[in-house]
């Protein structure tokens, strides 16, 4: 079985959406609320501890029906069966896409190459549990017989962003271990980290699915050299563990076979935090919390798999994104979590979303003539309010935004929480309603300025409003609710890839730069090596060599 190759723009629903767009593009959100009684509650999905309100979007019931028709016409249902069923939907790499299997229950059956992979998934989970329990409770000791105090995760991309985001997001639940992340090949990164750790009590987790990634191997080698300045060779087996599919390469690096946590090719790097790639998470917050994260994701998988599309959170969020991307021509989407713990959430999603759906060739191999992957960015509120919100409110660009908030805080300081959430609600209200000329004039009348100055000022103080937002209100930031939230975006990626008729699970776009860097590196290391470059690149290399 293969994914269907339906060009979305050739569907009936697409033509209808184009015609419908003309009738709604200038309608203000305020009018949509007036026209549609009970809009707020009808456009809210309450599921488990999630309150998902999409009523502040520039859609009518008809828009939604047409978007749902589009999902049907591209046969999203069939694609979902293939996704969860372990078909080779990553056709360009010849792989299944089964991060969902990593959070499936023990009695589930997911067949890959004729074998149920679930028992193996649970074996690795057992190994993660056993190891993290022993490190956390101090029974797995360092070469100087001390309990570990620090963990350094060495990886990049999917082998870094997921664990780094989750470890920070769940820091409220963390234990005594301090977790550090080294990813950039910029030597300053690794040097800053080793400045703050004690080799006698630090555990190094090298994470690389392929174990060929230049950045990770360079950082791992630098750390090993640094470590061996303080410790004997025999200490390596106590301080270095690895997560990889490439067992031979890990062994060549000198890591003890018992210290290898395997993963599988059917898990994409950017979807791998649920596998042993999440070892640093399990170490930081304990295995039980890691398991709750997985359980949360599994609950979202079930919701996505079984819920009717009109009440299906990942489906609705994906369809809305297609609506803005392909009809309003909005190029970017903002993710604004009102939680400092989710500081790295947008950065993490950038890889998931942009590496997956940043494609311009369709599943037939043809160049695409419509827009695909959106640009994702964002920062936590309220900091972002004092940084880029001006542009969202009064700039010329349409930027749909996801507002993610929690009804209960973790710190328990009600005053701070009320202030935080009043800003949250105020922003989505302001973005939707704006501020009219009449209100502005009314407000200015109360000040003591002249009539002429009032006329001058008024236009600058008007807010058009009509800026769309989704509100995702969750009870509390817990490992489980975080798992649900991440899985929601993973499925959004999938749905959009299906609609845009692209392959979401390869990432050939990151290869060319790597290839050229290898060629240039040879030149930088040896000036006698000469390669052909364009004049600009040639000059830059020469300039660098003259200064370095």
Indicate the residue among 249 and 435 with the shorter CB distance to ligand F6P.
249
Please provide residue 375's backbone torsions phi and psi, each rounded to the nearest 5 degrees: -90, 130
Query: Among candidates 121, 106, 491, which has minimal Cα distance to 271?
Result: 491
Residue 311 CB, shortest distance to ligand F6P, in Å, is 33
Binding site for ligand F6P (CB under 6 A): 156-159, 208-210, 213, 216, 269-270, 355, 507, 510
Query: Among candidates 499, 475, 41, 505, which has minimal Cα distance to 309?
Result: 499
Indicate the residue among 216 and 384 with the shorter CB distance to ligand F6P.
216
Indicate the residue among 180 and 209 with the shorter CB distance to ligand F6P.
209
Indicate the residue among 27 and 210 with the shorter CB distance to ligand F6P.
210
Q: How far apart are CA 302 and CA 299, in angstroms?
A: 5
Residue listed under structure tokens 């409220």:
172
Are 128 and 277 contacting, i.e. CB atoms less than 8 angstroms apart?
no
The beta-carbon contacts of 521-529 under 8 Å, at least 24 apart in sequence, are 524/548
Query: Among candidates 378, 369, 385, which has minimal Cα distance to 332?
Result: 378
Residue 49 CB, shortest distance to ligand F6P, in Å, is 30
Q: How far apart are CA 383 and CA 99, in angstroms?
A: 33
Residue 364 CB, shortest distance to ligand F6P, in Å, is 24
Residue 360 CB, shortest distance to ligand F6P, in Å, is 18
Indicate the residue among 504 and 507 with the shorter CB distance to ligand F6P.
507
Residue 295 CB, shortest distance to ligand F6P, in Å, is 24
The beta-carbon contacts of 104-107 under 8 Å, at least 24 apart in sequence, are 104/298, 104/301, 105/298
- List, by residue number, the catalytic residues: 355, 386, 514
CA atoms within 13 A on the CB side of 529: 11
Indicate the residue among 264 and 323 with the shorter CB distance to ligand F6P.
264
Residue 115 CB, shortest distance to ligand F6P, in Å, is 24
Are 231 and 200 contacting, i.e. CB atoms less than 8 angstroms apart?
yes
Measured CA to CA in angstroms, residue 164 lies from 160, 332, 358 at distances of: 6, 24, 23
Q: How far apart are CA 348 and CA 356, in angstroms?
A: 13
CA atoms within 13 A on the CB side of 451: 0
Determine the 3-state secondary structure of 198 from DSSP: coil
Residue 485 CB, shortest distance to ligand F6P, in Å, is 20
Indicate the residue among 159 and 179 with the shorter CB distance to ligand F6P.
159
């Amino acid at each position: 079985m293969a994914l269907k190759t339906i060009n979305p723009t050739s569907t009936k629903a697409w033509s209808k959406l184009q015609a419908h767009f003309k009738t709604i593009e200038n309608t203000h959100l305020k009018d949509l609320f007036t026209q549609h009684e009970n809009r707020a509650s009808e456009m809210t999905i309450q599921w488990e501890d999630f309150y998902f309100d999409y009523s502040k979007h520039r859609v009518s019931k008809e828009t939604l029906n047409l978007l749902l028709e589009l999902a049907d016409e591209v046969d999203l249902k069939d694609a979902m069966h293939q996704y969860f069923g372990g078909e080779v939907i990553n056709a360009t790499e010849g792989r299944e896409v089964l991060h969902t299997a990593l959070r499936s229950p023990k009695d589930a059956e997911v067949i890959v190459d004729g074998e149920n992979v679930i028992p193996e998934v649970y074996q690795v989970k057992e190994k993660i549990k056993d190891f993290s329990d022993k490190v956390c409770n101090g029974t797995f000791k360092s070469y100087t017989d001390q309990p570990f105090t620090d963990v350094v995760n060495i990886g990049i991309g999917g082998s870094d962003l997921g664990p780094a985001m989750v470890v920070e997001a769940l820091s409220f639940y963390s234990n005594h271990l301090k977790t550090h992340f080294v990813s950039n090949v910029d030597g300053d990164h690794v040097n800053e980290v080793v400045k703050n750790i004690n080799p006698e009590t630090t555990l190094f987790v090298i994470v690389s699915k392929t174990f060929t990634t230049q950045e990770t191997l360079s950082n791992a080698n630098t750390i090993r050299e640094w470590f061996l300045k303080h410790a004997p060779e025999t200490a390596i087996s106590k301080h270095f563990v690895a997560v990889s599919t490439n067992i031979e390469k890990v062994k060549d690096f000198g890591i003890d076979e018992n210290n290898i946590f395997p993963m599988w090719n059917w898990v994409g790097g950017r979807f791998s935090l649920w596998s042993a790639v999440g070892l640093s998470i399990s170490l930081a917050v304990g295995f039980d919390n890691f398991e709750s994260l997985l359980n949360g994701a599994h609950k979202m998988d079930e919701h996505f798999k079984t819920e009717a599309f009109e009440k299906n959170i990942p489906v609705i969020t994906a369809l809305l994104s297609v609506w803005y991307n392909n009809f309003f021509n909005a190029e970017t989407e903002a993710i604004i979590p009102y939680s400092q713990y989710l500081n790295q959430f947008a950065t993490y999603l950038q890889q998931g979303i942009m590496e997956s759906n940043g494609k311009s060739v369709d599943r037939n191999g043809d160049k695409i003539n419509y827009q695909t992957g959106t640009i994702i960015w964002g920062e936590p509120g309220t900091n972002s309010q004092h940084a880029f919100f001006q542009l969202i409110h009064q700039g010329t660009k349409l930027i749909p935004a996801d507002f993610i908030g929690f009804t209960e805080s973790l710190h328990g300081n009600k005053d701070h929480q009320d202030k935080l959430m009043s800003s949250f609600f105020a922003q989505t209200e302001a973005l939707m309603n704006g501020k009219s000329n009449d209100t502005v004039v009314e407000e200015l009348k109360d000040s003591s300025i002249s009539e002429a100055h009032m006329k001058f000022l008024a236009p600058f103080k008007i807010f058009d409003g009509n800026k769309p937002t989704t509100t995702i209100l969750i009870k509390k930031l817990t490992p489980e609710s975080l798992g649900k939230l991440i899985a929601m975006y993973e499925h959004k990626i999938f749905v959009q890839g299906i609609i845009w008729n692209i392959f979401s699970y390869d990432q050939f776009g990151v290869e060319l730069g790597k290839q050229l860097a290898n060629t240039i590196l040879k030149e930088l290391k040896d000036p006698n090596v000469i390669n052909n470059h364009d004049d600009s690149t040639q000059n830059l290399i020469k300039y660098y060599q003259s200064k370095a």
